[in-house]
Amino acid sequence: MLNRYTSLVLAAVIYTAVAMLGSGCAFEDGHPPQPRIGLAPDSVLENDGFQTLISLDATGSSDPIDDPNAVRPLKFRWHISNDEFRFESGDETSTNPTLKFRGDRPATIELTATDEDGFSGTTSVQLRLVVFR
């Protein structure tokens, strides 16, 4: 049996919870995954002319808070900017695509990882451009 004080506290807690839910206040129930980019090699020669095969790797990505045992798959999206490129294998949603670059400018490679709850995290690296004079 609850005493009068315990009953009042319990009633206040229930009232507050109901009021918060009814007012549209929601608790966030997830965290974004942590994308990681592997890049090999990490550079191309200036004016490479699509000769060097570059491997991108998203397998180091994880969702350590929401999925510490890596049971739920992540979805990936690659975005490349600042240089012309071609996919040799895979595409912008592949875990391990391979590409070739023209080598006119250092390319920016961005990876977005999205978990099953719809939370996303993004990171980027720059493909180095090796210039010989």
Domains in the chain (CATH in brackets) are: 38-130 (2.60.40.10)
Chain centre distance of CA 33:
6
The token pair at 70 is 């890596």
Asked if the model's pLDDT at residue 112 lies above 50, the reply is yes
* Count of CB atoms situated within 10 Å of the CB of 25: 8
Structure tokens at 92: 């912008």
Predicted local confidence at residue 23, as pLDDT: 43
Contacts of 130 (CB under 8 A, 6+ apart): 43, 44, 45, 46
User: What is the DSSP code (8-state) at residue 62?
Assistant: B
9 or 80: which leads in pLDDT:
80
